[in-house]
Structure 1
């Protein structure tokens, strides 16, 4: 086999190995952001996320052009009161799913710089503990849509 063919085989193997090691093992379903209400400094985002790899992963950062910061938040019970708290990282257990939902784990878009309207799209970039970055396009929906019966 010629040196040129060996280089092509080696490069192909490296690309394949890269895709296996850092492939698309994180799958997000139904990414939605609540349409922002003018005057409100923040809004929330929701989705389900599945980690189909055999290794735990952590979400450690999120960012978007619609706000100064994007934070991971959760609700906890403090006696009879529910309280929202910032979470620094989110465990994505191997071969499992987590759900970001109203009243539980969710994204908070803090200090909005743009007020997304229902029907628009917003890109959010996530970073994992392994250094992988991926961008997801969220649909913007009105909170009124959530409460129609």
Structure 2
């Protein structure tokens, strides 16, 4: 009984994790000395339930946050999101001028063509790890 329960829990965790798929991930290469940058990608929820992102991170920087650009009173403003719902069976684009990852306090300068590891954190406690290529804007 205990073994069956552990197997069922492992399959549940695997299926939750497998529902979110990150594609075409890039981190923007900026001029030397710039301490912050941004990350862009597509995230697809292949599951039947919405998934909620509540954070992000990487070992390349002091902190990583989910942000969105919004227009307020004819001014473009960047807003830190504490959560972002990825609806079931939908794909959300993280692009310049929209949703994106803000990467604060780079530990080392980035190099064009370099691959870096990032992750997204879900409300359910899942950590979605992915690799992004460093590229010029």
Q: Same fold (TM over 0.5)?
A: yes
Q: Greater Rg, structure 1 or structure 2?
A: 1
Instruction: Give unmatched runs, 5+ long, in structure 1.
Output: 1-5, 144-149
Instruction: Give unmatched runs, 5+ long, in structure 2.
Output: none
The whole-number CA distance in structure 2 between the counterparts of 1:82 and 1:141 is 24
Q: Structure 2 matches for 1:120-135, cutoff 5 A?
A: 120-135=114-129
Post-superposition offset of 1:133: 1.0
Aligned partner of 1:34 in structure 2 is 28
The whole-number CA distance in structure 1 between the counterparts of 2:14 and 2:36 is 37
Are 1:36 and 1:115, in contact at CA under 8 Å, matched by a contact in 2? no
Post-superposition offset of 1:68: 0.5
Post-superposition offset of 1:54: 1.1
CA displacement 1:43-69 (0-9 Å, x = unmatched): 000001110111111111111111101
The whole-number CA distance in structure 2 between the counterparts of 1:106 and 1:74 is 6
Match of 2:72 among 56, 62, 78: 78
The whole-number CA distance in structure 2 between the counterparts of 1:77 and 1:107 is 18
Matched, 1:89 2:80: no
Aligned partner of 2:43 in structure 1 is 49
Q: With a CA cutoff of 8 Å and minimum separation of 6, indicate the structure with the bigger relative contact order.
A: 2
Q: Give the paired residue count.
A: 137
Matched, 1:58 2:52: yes
Aligned partner of 2:18 in structure 1 is 24
Give the TM-score, by structure 1 length: 0.82
* Structure 1 range deviating more: 101-110 or 21-30: 21-30
Match of 1:69 among 63, 79, 102: 63
Give the TM-score, by structure 2 length: 0.88
